[in-house]
Chain A
């Protein structure tokens, strides 16, 4: 039976791993955005732009909904 503290530690470790993954995806977005500029690649630029709105909507949902 895990103690509360070890449950917290495990949850925190999982959270940190996911934050790192989120950061590396964000980094990839930045990389692709800059490449779309230097290589003048419009379709790559469009893909970076496409998802922007979703993030903000979801934040609002979380604050209001939880």
Chain B
């Protein structure tokens, strides 16, 4: 099976799961007299589907940028964006695992990792602003790449939201655990 067909197959499965999971959450809410913790679990599951959907949307935004930039010669290797993507994927995976296993260690890991993503974003932003001020011809490409980095930073925030919800399930308190989520 080609890679393209593989992507199509996965997409269809995600769509089906989205509906299926939401309906089952509603059914659980309707049919069972749930305690407060179970209610928090189901409420979190419903929010989590939205977070995953948003991550899918940002992936589409990144794919759209890929089409825009397909013909250009990159003015720099995209190592930092690849690095941000790797870290972000790990955060999404860890946040979901934290939810399923009620694993507070993973919750804190995700919240700490968010600071690393923010640092990568800040550094890329500074670097590209500096390059653009010296080489105006790269502005168009650099702006698109900055948007991609911003999408990745937002995906990391969605993963962090999920992690903070897992803490909420356990403690009943909704707190901003990631440094970047706390008011300064």
Interface positions of A (Cβ within 8 A of B) = 4, 7-8, 11-12, 14-34, 36-38, 40-52, 54-55, 58-59, 61-62, 66
Residues of A within 8 A of B70 (CB): 40-42, 45
Name the residue on A nearest B92 (C-beta): A27
> Given A23-B96, A62-B22, A33–B59 Cβ distance below 8 Å?
yes
> Is there an interface contact between B13 and A29, defined as CB atoms closer than 8 Å?
no
Main secondary structure of the interface of B (DSSP, over half): helix
Q: Given A12-B28, A49-B64, are A44 and B3 also a contact pair (CB < 8 Å)?
A: yes
Which residues of the other chain, B, contact A42 by a CB distance below 8 angstroms?
66-67, 70
Bound-state CA distance A64–B97 (Å) is 31
Give the number of A-B contacts (CB < 8 Å): 178
Task: Tell me the smallest distance from the CB of B41 to a CB of chain A, in Å.
Answer: 7
A58 and B64 contact, CB distance less than 8 A: no
Given known A-B contacts A11-B28, A20-B96, A48 and B14 have beta carbons under 8 A apart:
no
Q: Are B20 and A18 in contact (CB under 8 A)?
A: yes
User: Once the chains bind, are B3 and A33 in contact (CB under 8 Å)?
Assistant: no
Which residues of B have CB within 8 Å of A37?
A: 62-63, 65-66, 69, 78, 81, 148
